[in-house]
Amino acid sequence: MTKIGDRRRTIYDVAKAAGVSISTASNALNDTGRTNAETRERVKRIAEEIGFRPNALARGLLTKRSHAVGMLTNDTYGRLTLPITAGVSEVLIDHGVSVFLCATNNNPRLAKLHLDALLDRQVDGIIFTATRLDLKPPVELSKLPIPVVYVFAEGPADSVTFFPDDEQGARLAVNHLKALGRSRILHITGPEDYLAVRLRARAYRECCPSGADVMFGEWSEEWGHEAVERVFVGSGEKPDAIFCGSDEIARGVIDALRDMNISIPTEVAVVGFDNWEVVARQTRPPLTTIDMELKELGHQAGLAILGLSKGEQIATGITRLPCSLVVRQSSGGH
């Protein structure tokens, strides 16, 4: 009477149950080597029956591919990180690859700790994400023996980097407003030292060659509010549309316009940037805005790291992925 413990089944158990050798079992399960079709099916069936699943540690030890990647982020709050990570994970899980999430809190010591742990685990690659665009990676990632992909962060010149296409997004917003017949479009946005801010402002200016007006400020509702007050108190021609650099700014803008009894979108149409649902859905009226397609960004980063880890050639440099327009009531579009 054989005692069957509750330990995991190994390929040895499969081989024994199927009456073949371990190597035949392995070959059959992985469709490698030369195996009789009948034997192969039988082995697979038995493996299924006894609930065999290969030990990823043993496999990784041998093949030098752990089928895991690390995600290194400095973003605690997670407004960007989690959707991106979800996108990465979503596309990788189908390839049997799992994701380690490491929050560095902008702490170099912690970043080093996480990085070492990832390397010890033989991860197949690392995806680095930063919230602040102008922030450099906290540790030296460029000399690593494994591929690195940057998302929302600048890597060295020959690295693989993904960003949303800020200019295209801005054009999307402005052209939407123009298509609705608006002609005096104002741009209220964040601090000029952000690259994304400059890119969006440039695209905006190119779309509105006559009378472009950009107001740089902060990433806050407060600033949106203040900017609107500043514009609408004086005399002179008023804008009939406002393109905001973020949904938070847009929220301040909308609140200020409501305070002044200026109707949205009839008198002034408003478009935001981010499609941060918790903000964009709750403004009154709900906010038309630009979605940066964070999940898709994650998908692409995941596919890139997957390809790189297999040794494929991936185009280096910055890839900018298209944004999309989400129309709600604040622009009066449809």
Query: Measured between alpha carbons, how far is 244 from 268 in angstroms, rounded to an integer?
Result: 13
The residue (of 55 and 142) whose beta carbon lies closer to DNA is 55
Report if residue 105 touches DNA, rule: CB under 7 A.
Answer: no
The residues, any chain, with a CB within 8 Å of residue 157's CB and separated by 6 or more, are none
Q: Mark residues 59-88: x for contact with DNA by CB under 7 A, - for none.
A: x-xxxx------------------------
Q: How far is the CB of 71 from DNA (least distance, A)?
A: 24
The residue (of 55 and 175) whose beta carbon lies closer to DNA is 55
Report if residue 285 touches DNA, rule: CB under 7 A.
Answer: no
Strand partners, 215: 188
Give Cα separations from 39 to 42, 46, 201, 233 (angstroms).
5, 11, 65, 83
- Considering only 24, 81, 246, 300, the residue that binds DNA (CB under 7 A) is 24
Q: How far is the CB of 68 from its own copies (least distance, A)?
A: 7
β-pairing, 241-244 with 98-103? Answer: unpaired
Residues in the chain, overall count: 334
- Residues near its own copies (CB under 8 A) are 6, 8, 53-58, 60-61, 66, 68, 71, 76-79, 81-83, 85-86, 89-90, 93, 96, 98-103, 105, 110, 113-114, 116-122, 145, 220-222, 248, 251, 255, 277-279, 282
The residue (of 12 and 175) whose beta carbon lies closer to DNA is 12
- Determine contact, residues 13/51, Cβ cutoff 8 Å: no
DSSP 182-193: ---EEEEES-TT
Written in H, E and C, the secondary structure of 310-328 is CCCCCCCEEEEECCEEECC
Residues of this chain that bind DNA (CB under 7 A): 7-8, 10-12, 19-24, 26-27, 29-30, 32-36, 39, 52-55, 58-59, 61-64
